[in-house]
Amino acid sequence: MRYIFPILLAIVPGVAGVCIFGYYAFVDWEALQKAYDRFSEVVATSSDLSLLFVAEAQQNIHRVNLFADGVWTLLSAILAAIGLHTVLMLSQSRSLR
C-alpha cells in the first residue's frame, strides 16, 4: 500500500509526460527544420524585408515550442525520478526493519 501513492502520483504521470512531451518535441523539431530551411531559402533568394521577417518569426515560433516541449519532458523525467527514488527508499527502509 505504501508503494501505490508514489507510483500513481509520480512515476506514472512522469513517464506519461516524458512520452507525450517527448513525442511533441520531435514533432516540433521536424517543423523547426522545415521552417529553418524556408528561412534559409528566403535569405538566399529574396531581398524583401517583410518576407524575411515573416520567415524568421515562423522559425522562432517553432524554436519556442521546441524549448517548451523539452522543458516539460525534462520536468516529467524529474518527477518520475523522484517517484522512483521514493519507492526505492521505502523498500530500503522496510528491509532494514
Which pLDDT belongs to residue 49? 92
Which pLDDT belongs to residue 97? 64
User: Counting beta carbons within 10 angstroms of the beta carbon of residue 50, is it exposed (0 to 12), middle (13 to 18) or buried (19 or more)?
Assistant: exposed
pLDDT, averaged per 10 consecutive residues of the chain (97 residues), comes to 89 98 97 96 91 94 97 98 94 74
Which pLDDT belongs to residue 91? 86
Domain residues for the domain of 56 are 4-96
C-alpha cell at 12: 506514472
Q: What is the pTM of this model?
A: 0.84
Which pLDDT belongs to residue 1? 75
Which residues have C-beta within 8 Å of that of residue 82, sequence separation ≥ 6?
10, 14
Domain count, the chain: 1
Candidates 32, 19, 22; CA nearest to 69 is: 22
Rounded to whole angstroms, how far apart are CA atoms 87 and 46? Answer: 59
